[in-house]
């Protein structure tokens, strides 16, 4: 089986505190499960984090951004 690769890796994004930011990556294989992490901590869907995936594009939306989210 062909390994899944990043066609487009995450880019740094800036956001003002209290706003939201969207992080996007593109994979080489559509609908591949994605695990979002901050350091060694796995992120789970909540009021703060929203995950979207369409085909090869995966998105993480972080709401109410704080400096600790950097």
Find out whether 17 and 67 touch, Cβ atoms under 8 Å: yes
- DSSP state letters, 6-36: EEE--------TTS-EEEEEEESSTT-----
The verdict on pTM exceeding 0.85 is: yes
Counted domains in the chain:
1
Please indicate, yes or no, if residue 67 is contained in any of the structural domains: no
The answer to whether the Cα torsion of 43, 33, 13, 18 is positive or negative is: negative
Please indicate, yes or no, if residue 69 is contained in any of the structural domains: no
Query: What is the span of the domain harbouring residue 20?
Result: 6-62
Please indicate, yes or no, if residue 1 is contained in any of the structural domains: no
pLDDT (tens digit, 9 = 90+) per residue, 31-69? 889 999 999 999 999 999 999 999 999 999 999 999 998
Find out whether 58 and 45 touch, Cβ atoms under 8 Å: no
Please indicate, yes or no, if residue 24 is contained in any of the structural domains: yes
pLDDT tops 90 at residue 3: no
CATH number where 19 lies: 2.60.40.10
């Amino acid at each position: 089986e062909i390994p899944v690769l990043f066609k487009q890796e995450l880019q740094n994004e800036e956001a003002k505190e209290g706003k939201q930011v969207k992080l996007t990556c593109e994979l080489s294989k559509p609908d591949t499960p994605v695990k979002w992490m901050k350091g060694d901590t796995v992120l789970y869907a909540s009021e703060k984090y929203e995950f979207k995936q369409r085909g090869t594009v995966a998105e993480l939306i972080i709401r109410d951004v704080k400096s600790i989210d950097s």
